[in-house]
Amino acid sequence: MTKIKVKNLSKKFKIYTRGGIEIEGYSNINFEVKEGEFLSLYGPSGIGKSSILKALYRTYTTTSGEILLTKTNGDVVDIANCSESEVLYLRKNEIGYVSQFLQVLPRISAVDIVSQPLIDKGESKKSSRQKAKELLDYLSIKEELFDISPLTFSGGEQQRVNIAKGIIAPKSVLFLDEPTASLDEINTMKVIKKLKSIKKQKVAMVGIFHDFDAMNAISDKIYNIEEKKYANYNKK
């Protein structure tokens, strides 16, 4: 089943500091993602990869086009044009987002941050915290850091906490903006392994990678933004 269908998506940014001129962010973007598929957005820096991902999550509005999401109940909603209340519902129940940077409140421990999505789904606090500890350990976060605020961690450690928070309780759709950008090769491959297990849960994913090997390892399809078509590549 197709979970996301993007049709003729375009975005222009208005630059008010330059007299309100409009700059094209991207145009005529078309792709679709099925259950259990991972699609990567590909192109040079500045081509609009992150902007497209933010449009899918509705952090950015679009100038034209449609983002059709098939919800868990089978209903179809256009993320690009639905109401703000519907966007909030979708973020709570249908779509997740892993950004490049960890954004959390101070003084909240790593294990509490990672366990919260499970608690929000109704799992007990004890079980959620145990699963959070197991995932943090898998991603090479030292046990002595579990009960400390990750705002004191290194950039790579923060990103691993961020990923753990984003994937521990995946919704039916997950968007990932360079999730492995700050990680070494070992932890990158650990993340890829986890994403592959999430694909088996029929989660549809759209992501951006700076590392072509990581992108190649997880992707079922790669969409070339510059050429506006699926890219041919050799899957390992």
Taking only the tens place, the pLDDT of each residue in 44-97 is 998 999 999 999 999 999 999 999 999 999 999 999 999 999 999 999 999 999
Q: Give φ, ψ of 166 to 5 degrees.
A: -75, -25
pLDDT of amino acid 101: 82
The region that residue 150 occupies, defined by phi over 0 for left and psi between -120 and 50 for alpha, beta otherwise, is alpha
Average pLDDT, the chain: 93
Q: Taking the domain 36-62+92-230, which CATH number applies?
A: 3.40.50.300
Q: If you average pLDDT over residues 2-14, what whole number do you get?
A: 94
pLDDT of amino acid 234: 55
Residue 236 has pLDDT above 60, yes or no: no
Give pLDDT tens digits for 157-168.
999 999 999 999
Q: Give φ, ψ of 98 to 5 degrees.
A: -115, 110
Which run of H or of E encompasses 207? strand 204-208
Give pLDDT tens digits for 200-222.
999 999 999 988 999 999 999 99
Q: How confident is the model at residue 16 (pLDDT cuts 50, 70, 90)?
A: confident
Q: How confident is the model at residue 235 (pLDDT cuts 50, 70, 90)?
A: low
Q: Give φ, ψ of 144 to 5 degrees.
A: -70, -10
User: Two tokens at 31?
Assistant: 């792709």
Give pLDDT tens digits for 83-141.
999 999 999 999 999 988 888 888 899 999 999 999 999 999 999 999 999 999 999 99
